[in-house]
């Protein structure tokens, strides 16, 4: 295991990079239920670079708060719209969003562990689909780390 496998280390790197670039970071979370925001908020000097997050677990919350188009929510379209809506809502320069199926049962025709991670920034929008294994808590942990790593990678490209 390397230090980039530890969410707290990745969150610290996100913080240093965001501060150096003078950018505000935000998160929109569904399947991870606030775990990403928790890691970012615990990082050093987070009040200087972390705009905040929205835990939009219920589909209606995604539609109403993040302006996601009504319909299925365990998909790439929803993840991108969550990231975009969160960045706009919180005035952030970059936002990461996570939606999918945490399990233990399938939802919307997707097996447990199907997770979409999206990023929205001035550089554009990207989304990736992932398939994680394990029980719901293990899926949340894997999705959290993956989202943090994606955010750091995106910041390093800016």
Q: What's the confidence (pLDDT) of residue 5?
A: 80
With respect to residue 123, please indicate whether it lies within any of the assigned structural domains: yes
Q: Does the predicted TM-score (pTM) go above 0.75?
A: yes
Q: Does some domain include residue 10?
A: no
pLDDT at 158: 72
Question: CA 128, CA 33: separation in Å to the nearest integer?
Answer: 19
Indicate left, alpha or beta for 101 from its phi (over 0: left) and psi (-120 to 50: alpha): beta
Q: Which of 27, 22, 88, 77 is nearest to 49 (CA)?
A: 22
Q: Which domain holds residue 84?
A: 22-157
Sheet with strand 94-100: strands edge to edge: 50-55, 25-29, 94-100, 114-121, 124-131
What three-state secondary structure class fits 53?
strand
CATH code, 56: 3.90.950.20
Counted domains in the chain? 1
Select from 33, 41, 17, 7 the least CA-distant residue to 98: 33
Residue 6 belongs to a domain: no
107 located within any domain:
yes
Task: For the chain of 158 residues, list the mean pLDDT of each consecutive stretch of 10.
Answer: 81 98 98 98 97 98 98 98 98 98 96 98 96 97 98 92
């Amino acid at each position: 295991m390397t230090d980039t496998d530890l969410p707290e280390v990745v969150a610290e790197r996100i913080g240093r990079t965001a501060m150096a670039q003078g950018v505000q970071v935000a998160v929109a979370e569904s399947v991870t239920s606030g775990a990403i925001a928790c890691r970012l908020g615990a990082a050093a000097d987070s009040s200087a670079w972390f705009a905040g997050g929205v835990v939009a677990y219920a589909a209606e919350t995604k539609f109403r708060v993040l302006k996601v188009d009504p319909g299925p929510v365990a998909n790439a379209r929803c993840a991108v719209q969550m990231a975009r809506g969160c960045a706009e809502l919180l005035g952030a320069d970059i936002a990461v969003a996570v939606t999918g199926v945490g399990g233990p049962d399938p939802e919307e025709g997707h097996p447990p562990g199907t997770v979409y991670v999206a990023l929205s920034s001035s550089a554009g929008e990207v989304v990736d689909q992932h398939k994680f294994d394990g029980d719901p808590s293990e899926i949340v942990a894997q999705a959290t780390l993956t989202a943090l790593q994606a955010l750091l990678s995106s910041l390093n490209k800016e």
